[in-house]
Structure 1
Amino acid sequence: MNWLFQISFSCCVLLLSVSAFCAEVPQEQGEDALLLLSDGPVHVRFHLLIDEQQLAVRRQEFISNLIQRLDADSDGQLSQTEWQQSPLHQFGKKEVGNEFLKTLGTSRPVPRKNVEQDLARFGELISYRQDDTAAGNDLKVFELLDADKSGHIDAAEIQSAEGRIALLDGDRDECVSFEEFSPPPQPDPDSAEVVRTGMLSDELPKAFLANLIRDISDIRLPADLLRLYDRDKDRLLSATELGGDERRITPLDVNQDGKLSVAELRGLRRLPVDLELRIELSGAKSGQSSLQVLSSAAHQVVPAHRSDLVKLAFGKTGVTFAFRNLDPIQSALTNARQRFNTLDIDANGYLDRKEISGNPTFERIWFHAMDRNRDGMLYDAEMQDYVRAICEPAATTCHINVYDTGPGYFQLLDHSGDGRISVREMRNLQPALAAHQKNDGAGISPDDMGQNYFIEFVRGSYQVFGASRRLVAQGPTFIERDPIGPNWFQAIDRNRDGDLTYLVVNPLHPPEFLYTLNLAHEMDADRDGLISWNEAERFEQQFAIRQSRAAEPQLPATP
C-alpha cells in the first residue's frame, strides 16, 4: 500500500484474533475518526466496549434501566413528577421554592429523547480532548542530553547520557519519570486549599477540543481538510496532497477527475481504514488485552511490552495508543468520601450548613440536592447515593485524550512505555540514542525526531468534588501506566518498573527479590540481572505445569 508513506503491510502488528473478533463486533458499529498528521490523514476505526458490549448499546441500556427505575407507578411512561425526583434532573439547578411552579406540566410524560438530552450534560458519548503542554517537558529531555547546548546531541553526549539522567532520580526509586525532567514548582504554603465542586467554572484550562483527531462525521471536517492539505490552493485535494496514490481516493472521486472537492469529501467514511483498534473500557478480560490492534498499515515502533499500550509510526510521526483502566464510580465515591471527611470539622458523621458555609456553590446547590430527607443534616450515605447517581451516566461514555509529546525523546528512551526510565532502559540508553544519530556525525537534533503524540482511551468519569476530568491527567503524569505482572510480582516490585532486582549492586537500593539466588537465576532467563514481569509470568506458568504433573497418579513400573 503506497499511502501512509509507503508503509508495508508486512510490518503490521498485533493482528490478534482478527477474524474471531470481527464476528463479535460488526465493522459498521465502529467509531471512525481521522488523524490529521502532517503528511496526510489516517483513517482510524475504534471499537469501544464496556464488558464486551458496544459503548452506544451500553448507553441506551443504561437509559432504559434508568427510566424503568424512575417509573414509580409502573405505567410504562416517565412522568414529569417522576423525572423531577431524579438527582440527574436536579443536577446543577437551584431549588424551586414556589409550590405552584413545581406543579406546572407534571402530568405530561417525558419523552426518551428529553432524558437523553438531559444526560448529555454529563458527557458526550465520545469526547476528544487535547493537551499540548507535554511537548515542553520533552524539550527538557533534549536540553539535558545536549550538555554543551550546541543544538544537537553528539556521540560523546550519548555516551554520558546515562549518568546525567540517573542524577534526576529525586525520589531514589531507581527510575526517572517524565516529571523529574521538569519538576513542578513548590506549592505556596500560605495558599488555602480550594474545595472544587465539579461545576463548569472549575474546569482546568489546559484541555481543548482535539484538532489532531476528528470524528469523521464532523460537518466541518471537509473544509478543514482543504485548509490543511490543499497545498496548491485549487480548492481540491489530490491523492498526492493526501499522502497516497489515486487508488486510495477512488471510492470518493465521483467525477473521476483524480481530485476531491468539498462535496466529495463528505463521503470520508468510504476511505479505506488504515488502523482498527478494539478497546475494552472496563479493563482486560480473561485471555484478551484491553487494547488490541485488529488491522494496521503502520509500522510498530517497539515490540509490544504491555497489553494496554502500542507504539506505531506513520512515516516520521510516532503515535502511542494507550488504555488507562479507571473505575469511574469507585473513583468518584472515594473522592467524595475524602471531601466529606475534610468538611466534617466536628467529626460527628454529618455536615450541617455551618460547616459548608465557606463554599457558596456547595451551600446553594449541592447541600439541597444531597439532603434527600430535608432534615438539614447531610450524612455520608446520602452523599454516596447522590454521587453514584450523578456518576452513572458519565460511566457510559469514553474520553479520547490526545497529548502532544513533541519530538518524543522521552518515549524513545522509555522503551516499555510505562512512563519511567528504569534500570533496564538506562542500560539501553546509548543504543537507543545511537540508532537516531546521523551517519555524517552531526548527532541528533529535534528536527530529526519528527512529531510524537500520545492518545489515551479512558472510561468517562465525573468528580462531584473536583474538576470534571475531560483529561485524566492535567500535565505529564498521564504517561505513567499501571503496574504489570503477576500479583506477587507487583507486591514486591516497589518502584513499579516491571523488573525485580536480585543482586546487591547499590547499598542504597536493596534487592527487591529476596528469595534464593538459585530461584532468581531460574527466573532470569536472559541472565541480565533483572527478573522482568514476563519472565515471572512465564516461570509461574511453568511452575503450575510442573505441579500438575507431579500431582498425577504414577503407574506402577512394568516387571
Structure 2
Amino acid sequence: MRAFVSTFVLASLVIGIGGCNQRVAQTPPPKPAPPVVAKTIVDPLDLISLEDMAEPQAGLPFKLEPYVTPQRLLVFTSHGPIRVDVLLWIDDKPYDHALEELVDHVLTLADANQDGKATWEELANQPELRSGQFGNLSFEDPRQRKQNIDRYDTNRNGWVDRAEVPRMVSRSSARTEAFSVRRTSYAVNRSRTDSPLRQLLDENGNGVIDHDEITSAAHRLRLRDLDDDEIVTPMELITSSGSSMDDMTRRGDRRRFFGGQGMFTLDDNTPWNDLLYAMQENYERGGQLQLDKFPKDNLLHTIDADGDGVLHRDELPKLASLPPEYELTIRFGGDLKEQPRIAMVPFKKSSAEPITRTDEVAVNLGSDWLVFRTRDNVSSEFAHQQAENLLQIYDGNRDGYLEESELPEQGTNINFALADKDEDEKLYVEEIEASLLQRNWIQRCHIRLQGIDGDDPLFRAIDPNRDTRLSARELQQLKSQLSQMDVDQSQSVEFEEIPALLVFEFFRGDQDNNPVVPQLYSESQDATATSNLTPEWFQGMDYNGDGDISLREFLGTPAQFSELDADHDGFITDAEVLSHPNLF
C-alpha cells in the first residue's frame, strides 16, 4: 500500500515542493528577479489536497497519508554499511510541509510593506525576528544585524530567497536545510572498549573475559549490589568502580569526533570522497576498500559496477538509489495516542525485527545493536498548559489576564507588546499560548541527528528484558549468557565477540552539545507486570519488583517454597503461584 501511495503522489506532485531537500538555482547577476512571496506546496493534480489526504477518500477502502520525503541514511556497522530511510513528522504533518509553513511565515514577515518583495532589511526590522522571539539569532545589535544578513543572504542580492530561510532557522551558514546531521565517529570498537561491565569482568586486564572470569562473573556483580536488594544497577557498577558520574557521562562526548565518520546522508550534497575515505578508515584502516571482507548480501556488492571486488569513488553515488533495509518513522509533537513516536520496519525478509520502546527502537544485527532514539525538548503540545500556569503565577489581582506590569520578560522570555496582538493591553491565556508557540516555532522545525556514546553494549546483551538492571534471575543465567557469546568455542569471550552498540538520537529543542544518555544512567523503577489474578501476598514479598520471589524474599517455609517452585530454578513466578491457589 505504501508503494502505491508513494508512486501516486510522486507521479502527481509538481517538483517544486520546498523543504529540506529543495535546491533553488540562483539567477546570475546583474539583477535577479525578486522572490515571490507565495506558498509552494502544490496539490497533486488538484485532485486531493494535502489536508484531505489524511482522511478516508470516497470510494477508497484505505486512508491516504501525505507523501513524506525520506531522509536517506548510510550507517556503518561491523559487517558493512546499511541503508535506513527516515520519515520525519512534525505535529502530524510531514517534515517538509511543517518547514514550508515556517518558511512562508518568515517570507511574509520579510515583505512588511507588501510590495511582493521579501528583503533582509525588512525581515531584520520585524520585532519577532529582531529580538529573537522565534529562537533565531537576534538582529538587535547593529553589528550582529549586519553579520546575520551577510551570513544568510548567500547570493548577496538583498532579498530573502526560500533556500536561504532554512539556513536562518537552523542557525547555520553552511546548510540549506533545517534537518541536520552532526558529525559522528564510527563507534563499533569504541563502544566495546568503553564498556564499564567489560572492564569490570576482565579482572586481569588482558582484553579477554576468560573461562575463570566467566565463571566468577555473577559473584563479582553480586558484590556490587550496594543496597542488597538482589538487583544490580548500572549506577551501582559505576559507584563501586570508583568512576565519577561526570567522567562517565562526558567521556563519550569528548571522543565522539575521533576516527572515521559513522554515518552519512545520501543526497545531492553527499561528499563522496569523504564517504569513501571514511569507509576505508573504518574497515581497512585507510587501505583500499576490498569487498571480499563483507558478507555477500551487503549492499556494497551491488554497486561494484566493474566487478573487480574493489570500490571506487565513482561507484558510490549508486548507494543513494538502493532500496532501504529499514524504514524509520520519527514523530515530534502532534497526537501520539494513535501513532507511536518512533517505529521501524524491515524492508528485507532477512532483516531482523526491531524491538520498540516508548522513545527507542533497537535491532539486533548479530555483531551489533543498532539503536535509534528521540529526544524532544520543545513542548509544543503543552503550550496551553504552560500558558495557564504563567497566568496563574503572575495574575496577581486574579482578573483573568496579565497586564504589562504583571509579566516579567526576564524569566518568561515573553515580550508583552509582541504578544498583545489586539493591543488591548491585556494578555489572555490564548495570547500567551500563541506567544509560546511562536517563540519555539523555529525549534519545532529544527531536527538534528547525532550519534551518542554512553550505553554499555555488554550490559545490554545480558539484560534481555531491557529494564536497565540485572535481577537475581539474570545474574543466575549470566555464565550461560556469556558462554553463548563465545562463538569460536575458545572458552573465553574475545573483544570482537562482545556485541557493539551504535546509538543515534534524533532531537530538537535546546542547542546543547551534550545529549542526554538515558539508558545507562537512569534506572527503571517499574515492577515487572504480573497477572491481575496474582494474590497480593506475592507482590508484597516481591519487594524488589523483578517479578520473581527468591528464597530470601519468601516469608514461608522452605517446604512451601519448594512446592511453589515447580521448575526448581530457585525462583517463584506468578504463574507458579496461580497453579497452587490453595497453598496460602
TM tier, smaller: 0.5 to 0.7
CA distance in structure 1 between the aligned counterparts of 2:526 and 2:83, rounded to whole angstroms:
32
What's 1:279 paired with?
Answer: 330
What does 1:545-556 align with in structure 2 at a 5 Å threshold?
none
Q: How many angstroms does 1:95 deviate by?
A: 3.5
Pick aligned residue for 1:293 from 309, 331, 345: 345
> Contact 1:137–1:181 (CA<8 Å) still a contact in 2?
no
What's 1:198 paired with?
Answer: none
> Contact 2:528–2:545 (CA<8 Å) still a contact in 1?
no
Q: Which amino acid aligns with 2:483?
A: A
Pick aligned residue for 1:320 from 353, 371, 383: 371
State whether structure 2 residue 456 is matched by structure 1 residue 416.
Answer: no
Question: Cα distance 1:483–1:286, how it changes in 2: closer, same or farther (>3 A)?
Answer: farther
CA distance in structure 2 between the aligned counterparts of 1:143 and 1:235, rounded to whole angstroms:
31
What's 1:142 paired with?
Answer: 198
What's 1:128 paired with?
Answer: 182
Q: Paired residues, what number? A: 451
Q: Which amino acid aligns with 1:213?
A: M
What does 1:375-386 align with in structure 2 at a 5 Å threshold?
none
Q: Which amino acid aligns with 2:125?
A: Q
Pick aligned residue for 1:461 from 465, 488, 509: 509
Q: Which amino acid aligns with 1:397?
A: H
Further displaced range: 313-322 or 125-134: 125-134
Q: Which amino acid aligns with 1:90?
A: S
CA distance in structure 2 between the aligned counterparts of 1:433 and 1:41, rounded to whole angstroms:
27
What's 1:55 paired with?
Answer: 95
Q: Which amino acid aligns with 2:516?
A: A
Pick aligned residue for 1:269 from 320, 328, 340: 320
Question: Cα distance 1:386–1:368, how it changes in 2: closer, same or farther (>3 A)?
Answer: closer
Q: Which amino acid aligns with 1:142?
A: R
Q: How many angstroms does 1:528 deviate by?
A: 6.6
What does 1:11-410 align with in structure 2 at a 5 Å threshold?
29-65=69-105, 80-81=121-122, 84-91=125-132, 92-93=137-138, 95-96=140-141, 110-121=160-171, 124-128=178-182, 130=184, 135=191, 138-147=194-203, 149=205, 151-170=207-226, 175-183=231-239, 185=244, 208=257, 211-217=261-267, 219=269, 221-229=271-279, 239-240=291-292, 243-244=295-296, 249=301, 253=305, 260-282=311-333, 284-286=336-338, 290-296=342-348, 300=352, 304=355, 306=357, 308-314=359-365, 316-324=367-375, 327-329=378-380, 388-404=437-453, 408-410=457-459
Q: CA RMSD in A?
A: 6.0
CA distance in structure 2 between the aligned counterparts of 1:336 and 1:417, rounded to whole angstroms:
37
CA distance in structure 1 between the aligned counterparts of 2:376 and 2:225, rounded to whole angstroms:
27
Q: How many angstroms does 1:441 deviate by?
A: 5.1
CA distance in structure 2 between the aligned counterparts of 1:72 and 1:252, rounded to whole angstroms:
54
- SS where residue 493 of structure 2 aligns? coil
Question: Cα distance 1:437–1:97, how it changes in 2: closer, same or farther (>3 A)?
Answer: closer
Question: Cα distance 1:130–1:416, how it changes in 2: closer, same or farther (>3 A)?
Answer: farther
Q: How many angstroms does 1:46 deviate by?
A: 1.5
Q: Which amino acid aligns with 1:144?
A: L
| Long gaps (5+) in structure 2 | 8-63, 150-157, 247-252, 390-401, 420-426, 556-563, 576-584
Question: Looking at both structures, which has the greater relative contact order when contacts are Cα pairs under 8 Å and sequence separation is at least 6?
Answer: 1
Which deviations, in whole Å up to 9, do the C-alpha atoms of 1:183-231 show, x marking residues without a partner? 46378xxxxxxxxxxxxxxxx8665599211112375642234335558
Which deviations, in whole Å up to 9, do the C-alpha atoms of 1:368-412 show, x marking residues without a partner? 989969xxxxx9x99998765343212223332323568821111
Which deviations, in whole Å up to 9, do the C-alpha atoms of 1:431-464 show, x marking residues without a partner? 3222113665532232322532122333x112xx
Further displaced range: 140-149 or 256-265: 256-265
CA distance in structure 2 between the aligned counterparts of 1:114 and 1:531, rounded to whole angstroms:
61
What's 2:59 paired with?
Answer: none
Further displaced range: 233-242 or 138-147: 233-242
What's 2:484 paired with?
Answer: 435
Question: Cα distance 1:154–1:284, how it changes in 2: closer, same or farther (>3 A)?
Answer: farther
State whether structure 2 residue 511 is matched by structure 1 residue 472.
Answer: no
> Contact 1:59–1:396 (CA<8 Å) still a contact in 2?
yes
CA distance in structure 2 between the aligned counterparts of 1:305 and 1:247, rounded to whole angstroms:
25
Q: How many angstroms does 1:275 deviate by?
A: 2.6
CA distance in structure 1 between the aligned counterparts of 2:184 and 2:544, rounded to whole angstroms:
29
CA distance in structure 1 between the aligned counterparts of 2:416 and 2:551, rounded to whole angstroms:
56
Q: How many angstroms does 1:506 deviate by?
A: 5.6
- SS where residue 171 of structure 2 aligns? helix
- SS where residue 273 of structure 2 aligns? helix
- SS where residue 240 of structure 1 aligns? helix
Q: Which amino acid aligns with 2:261?
A: N
| Long gaps (5+) in structure 1 | 1-16, 188-203, 339-348, 357-361, 374-378, 463-467, 511-520, 533-559
Q: How many angstroms does 1:125 deviate by?
A: 1.2
CA distance in structure 1 between the aligned counterparts of 2:381 and 2:570, rounded to whole angstroms:
41
Further displaced range: 135-144 or 22-31: 22-31
Question: Cα distance 1:449–1:78, how it changes in 2: closer, same or farther (>3 A)?
Answer: same
Question: Cα distance 1:63–1:310, how it changes in 2: closer, same or farther (>3 A)?
Answer: same
- SS where residue 277 of structure 2 aligns? helix
CA distance in structure 2 between the aligned counterparts of 1:171 and 1:288, rounded to whole angstroms:
36
Which deviations, in whole Å up to 9, do the C-alpha atoms of 1:508-548 show, x marking residues without a partner? x99xxxxxxxxxx9xxxx9975679xxxxxxxxxxxxxxxx
Q: How many angstroms does 1:124 deviate by?
A: 3.3
> Contact 1:128–1:400 (CA<8 Å) still a contact in 2?
yes
> Contact 2:526–2:545 (CA<8 Å) still a contact in 1?
no
> Contact 1:239–1:245 (CA<8 Å) still a contact in 2?
no
Q: Which amino acid aligns with 1:128?
A: R
What does 1:516-531 align with in structure 2 at a 5 Å threshold?
529=572
CA distance in structure 2 between the aligned counterparts of 1:57 and 1:334, rounded to whole angstroms:
26
